[in-house]
Amino acid sequence: MNCDLFLYSGSSSAFNIKVYLANNSDLKAAGFTDQQAYTHFLVYGLNEGRQGSDYAGNTLEKARNISVGGQETSFTDWVGNADTNDFYKLNLVGVNNLTIALNTFSDINMKLIRDTNNNGASDLEETIASSTSTSVSSKELKLNSLASGIYFLQVYSGADANGHYDVKFVATPTPPSGSHIQGTKWNDANGNGIIKLRS
Ligand SMILES: [Ca+2]
Ligand SMILES: [Ca+2]
Ligand SMILES: [Ca+2]
């Protein structure tokens, strides 16, 4: 099997070997070949409710819920003519620095969105950051001190572009500067940068 995406007979659903394997860690761990992965999908996966392709929905409402944190989390999927958008939904708890890296060999880009008017759609002014490079390589968004709340990442393909991508997230909490010392005067008596609380 050498195509990225194809329809299997008798259904309108699509199957994508790389996406299927990347999103089913049990099969990956078992070292399934492409052919075995496809057979698994037809014989078991369909009945078990596993997706054959496209693990990230095409609207904010159908976005893939992901957890992000200090440990890098990575997701593999595909966008192109048959699936132009992949949305990811992340919830930042507290103020965070967020880094998102997109690796692809196709004309695929990403934008970070906040649905501030809460209408379930991404409006023009709700894009916080975007990768606009037409080069087909790795792209990165780095955002400092993002407020707590729900964000969406949209991964989308350029005209006539089809391809796989990996997207990686790292979020590290940022203590709001100075907020913890407001109203109190601290004294670092020995100047070592550590303040001891008196008991
Ligand atoms: Ca997809
Ligand atoms: Ca999609
Ligand atoms: Ca909106």
Q: How much distance in Å is there from the Cα of 111 to the middle of ligand 1? A: 15
Q: Please indicate whether residue 55 or residue 132 has the higher confidence score (pLDDT).
A: 55
- CB within 5 A of ion ligand 1: which residues? 54, 77-78, 83, 86
163 Cα to the center of ligand 1, angstroms? 9
- Residue in the block written with tokens 């159908």: 62
The pTM of the full predicted model, rounded to 2 decimals, is 0.81
pLDDT at 9: 41
| Maximum pairwise Cα distance, the chain | 76
Distance 178 CA to ligand 1 centre (A): 42
Domains and CATH numbers, the chain: 6-45 (no CATH), 64-173 (2.60.120.380)
* pLDDT tens-digit series, residues 59-75: 999 999 999 999 999 99
The closest ligand to the CA of 5 turns out to be 1
Convert 5-27 into a string of H (helix), E (strand) and C (coil).
CEECCCCCCEECHHHHHHCCHHH
Name the least confident of 17-26, 72-81, 130-139: 130-139
Nearest CA among 94, 106, 96 for reference residue 133: 106
Give residue 185 CA to ligand 2 midpoint distance, Å.
Answer: 53
Ligand number nearest to the C-alpha of 121: 3
Confidence of residue 10 (pLDDT cuts 50, 70, 90): very low
- What is the distance in A from the centroid of ligand 1 to the CA of 159? 15
For ligand 3, the distance from its centroid to the CA atom of residue 107, given in whole angstroms, is 26
Q: Which ligand is nearest to the CA of 152?
A: 3
